[in-house]
């Protein structure tokens, strides 16, 4: 009896898309206004999903309160109201695209999730752009 | 040409998370304020999805009007404006977590869906907590 | 330079619409399935708005963090995961319709809001039914 | 490192569900008021998703600006503010159900998407009815 | 103790913006692709609000079930799955813009609402375009 | 016959709440993590509303296409993907709170709106925090 349980959270942050090893001209050509050197920002909406067996005792796959607190400590504390390029070590040498942010979030959460369960991360950069990573 | 068709519905209900065979202390420790003996409640948003071949004659996997009426009769009539613990037989001995409610809904709908098609139930307990069950 | 600032919050609760001084028959006739004696429940979405002058020093009408904490302490602590009829003193003799809940919330918040400012409460009982009270 | 990237778009259109080779009576029996010969219409919300490897250079599976423009040229120009039955060649002999529209959109986009990537189309006919096609 | 109670409903319809007494050229210049002679359509989301005193007996400004049924009979039956230009008498000589549709809905509902109460109609033509009329 | 017509738009930007004439300590005390010197950011959702008479010829208060283009040129071009503190002249000496941004947007749009009509600006900084300014 496998069920996927999902918890929605959010954080907001500044970022800039660019590569240090590219010229300004190439960064502009590829990333357009997302390459603004003064940064821009987003309200990121995050959905974290755990897929696993229902515990027959509690009726939970995972206690949502525990999942909520885990997201708060591991993700919101690390990313909320931050400049992703300047203040989040994972993006020191990694372009903070929605794809890469989702993968980073997955890696930060994975050690805290039961090995038997699957972890999925969905990240909305805007209400019209979003990505999904299952690891 | 397999397509998934989805229909959104909703119901609201009171419930309480607890196990009769546990002490009050253990129920409180595990379920927190969801164990309030006077109950609390939710607006449950429900998405029922059917995955199957498009009928080349009608262009439908399943007529949405039929699916809407099926959900109304099998699920809304049974759960809407009800106390899940006290009035819904399936939860007489089953903790009405979102996970268990989704599984119960799946079993109530499955006999009415064509055997060749797959049935998926997604249930939002709140806009931030939801579960998905594919059977 | 008057601006209205709004903060969204939510709580969930069980309730029942009925009057003790009416017969069961009359309660059923007027309140229908909302009169279920075993209760039902909702996810209440709450929008609290303050209308007043922008403070030229801070650029705030009211600090949203302060408003968020005020709603948490005065409203969420009092109503979240509660049975409105049985556990919230304001509804001991008052029918917990959306209209009455909005008025009760307004009276709980009003003493904490600057006299010069206007207070508005909007309460969604479901995504399709909501009420607004300006006091 | 495979990620699904999604882009939301929309268009509105008139349509009518019916088959030329059926009698009016049969069309009415099967399609009900959706068979109104004077047409009705919808705001179609469209989510196009691409599943593939993250390009290690850009951090993109596919540049969202490119995907946005592709949807505008291939889908919105063809379907927005159109009568699907009368003006869109693909529906000259195909009933414009949500299922069939999703399949048509998929076929219009597929030639423009990298062969190594998977394409998924999700189409909301109303906020309560939607379909998903993965090809 | 005046409160505004609101009920959300929806209908979908085909329409076309144009004036019979204008040339095709002028209709095109002013209404653009909304003037498509084959029609296009929308999912109209409708919010009907009543502002008045809370009845101290029931706790209602107006029973939401009554308001829901009123909208169903007066508005949904008249407009849902219809071609506004061809099938709705009010638009025989009136351009069915969102503004005019809102005014027509207001006039259809007004005779059924208590004289002491105020009526407001909000109509979403798309998620990005909407109008509000208070009469 | 006065109607309010509304158009939704959006932009995203980086910002920081602080006053140059305050000490770091005071900025931190008042603005908390919103004072991060490396900036953070938001997806701002903007609703611009015009209240005025329906033109009996067109059935419009204001052509939505014109309003959409006006918002694009005056607001999105000026604020989208920008650092509000560093790149938008209006905030050189003005703290970019939601309140102040709404007032700035109102002043940028007002000269382009017919004098007879009223202009209202609603700005969502996050889905839970928003402000409304009527001028």
* A and B interact (at least 3 Cβ pairs within 8 A): yes
Buried b / exposed e along F83-102 (16+ C-beta atoms within 10 A): bbbbbbebbeebbbbbbbbb
> Does the beta-carbon distance from A6 to B98 stay under 8 Å?
no
Partners of A46 in beta bridges: A9, A123
**What is the Cβ-side half-sphere exposure of residue D109, based on CA atoms within 13 angstroms?**
31
Residues 6+ apart with CB under 8 A from A53: A1, A2, A61, A116
Can chain D be said to touch chain E, i.e. do they have 3 or more Cβ pairs within 8 angstroms? yes
pLDDT digits (tens, 9 = 90+) for D36-70: 999 999 999 999 999 999 999 999 999 999 999 99
Residues 6+ positions from B103 with CB-CB distance below 8 Å? A1, A3, A54, B121, B133
From the list D40, D73, D81, D112, the catalytic residue is: D81
Query: Are E36 and D126 inside 8 Å of each other by CB?
Result: no
Whether C128 and E7 lie within 8 Å, measured CB to CB: yes
CA distance E62 to chain D (A): 27
Structure tokens at D82: 């159109």
Q: Which of D34, D87, D107, D120 is catalytic?
A: D34
- Beta carbons within 8 Å of E25's beta carbon, 6+ residues apart: none
Q: Which of D27, D34, D93, D131 to mutate to test the interface with B (most CBs of B within 10 A)?
A: D131
Task: Compute the average pLDDT of residues C85-92.
Answer: 98
Quote the CA–CA distance of C5 and F103 in Å, as a whole number.
Answer: 12
Q: Retrieve residue C43's tokens.
A: 């996810």
* Positions of F marked catalytic: 34, 81, 125
Q: Which regions of chain E does DSSP assign to beta strands (E)?
A: 2-15, 40-53, 82-83, 118-126, 129-133
Local structure of A11: helix, strand or coil: strand
Residue B45's CB: how many other CB atoms inside 10 A?
A: 20
* F7 contact E CB<8A: yes
Only one residue has tokens 């592709």, namely D70
Instruction: Give chain B as a 3 state SS string.
Output: CEEEEEEEEEEEEEECCCCCCCCHHHHHHHHHHHHCCCCEEEEEEEEEEEEEECCCCCCCCCCHHHHHHHHHHHHHHHHCCEEHHHHCHHHCCCCCCHHHHHHHHHHHHHHHCCCCCEEEEEEEEECCEEEEECC
Question: The domain E2-133 is classified under which CATH number: 2.60.40.10, 3.40.640.10, 3.30.479.10, 3.40.1160.10?
Answer: 3.30.479.10
| Alpha helices for chain D (secondary structure H) | 24-31, 64-71, 77-79, 84-87, 98-109
The mean predicted confidence, pLDDT, of chain B is 97
Out of F10, F41, F43, whose CB is closest to A39?
F41
Q: For chain D, what is the mean pLDDT?
A: 97
Q: What's the sign of the alpha-carbon dihedral F126, F128, F133, F134?
A: positive
Q: In angstroms, rounded to a whole number, what is the distance separating the alpha carbons of residues E130 and E93? A: 22
CB distance D81 to D44 below 8 Å:
no
Answer for the pair D39, D31: CB distance below 8 angstroms, yes or no. no
Q: Is C46 helix (H, G, I), strand (E, B) or coil?
A: strand
Rounded to whole angstroms, the Cα distance separating A133 from A135 reads 6
Q: Which residues of C form the catalytic set? A: 34, 81, 125
- The arithmetic mean of pLDDT across residues B74-88, rounded, is 98
Q: Considering only alpha carbons, which residue of chain C is nearest residue F97?
A: C59
Average of pLDDT values for D4-18? 98
Q: What is the pLDDT of residues E64-98, one digit of tens each?
A: 999 999 999 999 999 999 999 999 999 999 999 99
Contacting residues of E for F60, CB less than 8 Å apart: 97, 99
**pLDDT score at D93:** 94
pLDDT score recorded for residue D135 = 81
Query: How far away is chain F from the Cα of E47, in angstroms, using its nearest Cα?
Result: 14
**Could E5 and C95 be called an inter-chain contact, meaning their C-beta atoms sit closer than 8 Å?**
no
Burial A38-75 (b: 16+ CB within 10 A, else e): bbbbbbbbbbbbbbbebeeebbbbbbbeebbebbeebb
Of B6, B8, B9, the CB nearest to D131: B6
What sign has the CA pseudo-torsion E103, E109, E114, E115?
Answer: positive
- Cβ-based contacts of F81 with chain A (< 8 Å): 33-34, 36, 40
Question: B16 vs chain D: nearest CA distance in angstroms?
Answer: 29
Percent of chain B with pLDDT over 70: 100
Strands F2-15 and B118-126: what pairing?
A: unpaired
Query: Per this entry, what is the length of chain D?
Result: 135
Q: State the average pLDDT over residues C43-60.
A: 98
pLDDT recorded at residue D11: 98
DSSP secondary structure letter of residue A58: T
User: Is A34 among the catalytic positions?
Assistant: yes
* Residue among D99, D127, D132 whose CB faces B60 most closely: D99
CB contact under 8 A, E34 and D80: no
B81 carries an active-site annotation: yes
Closest C-alpha among F95, F13, F45 to residue C61: F95
- Averaged pLDDT for residues E29-43: 97
Half-sphere exposure for F47 (CA within 13 Å, toward CB): 19
Residues 19 to 78 of E: which have CB under 8 A from any C CB?
A: 49, 54, 57-61, 63-65
What is the nearest CA distance from E15 to chain D, expressed in angstroms?
8
Name the residue among B91, B86, B121 with its Cα closest to residue B107.
B121
- What is the complex's ipTM, to 2 decimals? 0.95
CA distance A105 to chain D (A): 13
Q: Which residue, F34, D54, F125, F39, is CA-closest to A16?
A: F39
Q: Is C10 on the interface with F (CB under 8 A)?
A: no
Query: Nearest-CA neighbor of A121 among A74, A63, A83?
Result: A74
Per-residue pLDDT of chain F (135 residues; tens, 9 = 90+): 899 999 999 999 999 999 999 999 999 999 999 999 999 999 999 999 999 999 999 999 999 999 999 999 999 999 999 999 999 999 999 999 999 999 999 999 999 999 999 999 999 999 999 999 998
Whether chain E has a CB inside 8 Å of the CB on C85: the answer is: no
> Cβ F129–C8 below 8 Å, yes or no?
yes
Give backbone dihedrals phi and psi of A50, rounded to 5 degrees, phi first. Answer: -120, 130
DSSP H or E segment with residue A135: none
Band (B135; pLDDT cuts 50, 70, 90): confident
Q: Do chains E and B touch (3 or more CB pairs under 8 A)?
A: no
Output the CA torsion F98→F101→F102→F108 (10° steps). -170
Cβ of F81 under 8 Å from any chain A Cβ?
yes
Instruction: Using the predicted structure, report yes or no on whether residue E135 has a pLDDT greater than 90.
Output: no
Residue B54 pLDDT grade (very low, low, confident, very high; cuts 50, 70, 90) = very high
What pLDDT sits at residue F135? 81
Find chain D residues with C-beta within 8 A of A110's C-beta. none
In angstroms, the CA E103 to CA E91 distance is: 11
**Could you read off the pLDDT tens digit of each residue along chain A, which spans 135 residues?**
899 999 999 999 999 999 999 999 999 999 999 999 999 999 999 999 999 999 999 999 999 999 999 999 999 999 999 999 999 999 999 999 999 999 999 999 999 999 999 999 999 999 999 999 998
Tokens of D50: 């691409």
Report the distance separating Cα F98 and Cα F83, nearest Å.
14
F102 with C3: Cβ contact below 8 A: yes
Q: Looking at residue F66, what is its pLDDT? A: 97
Task: For residues D106 and D87, give the distance between their C-alpha atoms in angstroms, rounded to a whole number.
Answer: 19
- Catalytic, out of E40, E53, E73, E81: E81
Query: Which of C19, C129, C133 is facing E7, going by the closest CB pair?
Result: C129
CB-CB neighbours of D4 under 10 Å:
20
Q: Which of B40, B73, B81, B112 is catalytic?
A: B81
Q: Produce one character per residue of C48-83: b if its CB has 16 or more CB atoms within 10 Å, e if not.
A: bbbbbebeeebbbbbbbeebbebbeebbeebbbbbb
Other Cβ atoms within 10 Å of C120 Cβ, number: 17
Average pLDDT, chain E: 97
Q: Which residue stretches of chain F are H helix?
A: 24-31, 64-71, 77-79, 84-87, 98-109
Name the residue among E74, E76, E127, E132 with its Cα closest to residue E99.
E132
Minimum-distance CB partner of A59 among B99, B130, B133: B99
Q: Is the pLDDT of residue B47 over 90?
A: yes
Q: Which chains touch B (3 or more CB pairs under 8 A)?
A: A, C, D
Distance of CA F56 to the CA centre of its chain: 31
The tens digit of pLDDT for each residue in E12-30 reads 999 999 999 999 999 999 9
Rounded to whole angstroms, the Cα distance separating A52 from A5 reads 8
Cβ atoms of residues E95 and F59 within 8 Å: yes
A128 and D1 within 8 Å at the Cβ level: the answer is no
Q: How far apart are CA F87 and CA D44, in angstroms?
A: 37
User: Domain residues of chain B, as ranges?
Assistant: 2-133
Closest residue of chain B to C38, computed from CA coordinates: B83
- Nearest by CB to E40, from D14, D34, D127: name it: D14
* CB-neighbour burial class of residue A25 (10 A; exposed 0-12, middle 13-18, buried 19+): exposed
CA gap B106, B132 in Å, rounded: 10
Taking the alpha carbons of A23, A24, A28, A29 in that order, is the dihedral positive or negative? negative
Nearest to E97 among F1, F8, F59 (CB): F59
Using CA atoms, how far residue F96 sits from F41, F86, F100, F104, in Å, is 11, 11, 6, 9
Q: Which two tokens stand for residue C99?
A: 């209209």
Query: Region D6-31: what's the mean pLDDT?
Result: 97
Catalytic residue selected from B34, B76, B90, B99: B34
Half-sphere exposure of F82 (CA within 13 A, CB side): 18
Rounded-to-5 percentages of helix, strand, coil across chain C: 35, 35, 30
């Amino acid at each position: 009896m496998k069920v996927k349980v999902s918890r929605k959270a959010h954080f907001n942050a500044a970022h800039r898309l660019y590569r240090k090893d590219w010229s300004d001209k190439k960064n502009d050509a590829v990333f357009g206004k997302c390459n603004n050197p003064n940064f821009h920002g987003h309200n990121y909406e995050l959905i974290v999903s755990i897929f696993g067996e229902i515990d027959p005792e509690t009726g939970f796959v995972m206690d949502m309160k525990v999942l909520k607190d885990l997201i708060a400590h591991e993700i919101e504390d690390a990313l909320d109201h931050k400049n992703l390029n300047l203040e989040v070590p994972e993006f020191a040498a990694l372009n903070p695209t929605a794809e890469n942010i989702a993968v980073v979030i997955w890696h930060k959460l994975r050690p805290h999730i039961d090995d038997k369960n699957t972890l999925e991360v969905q990240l909305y950069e805007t209400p019209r752009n979003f990505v999904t990573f299952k690891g």
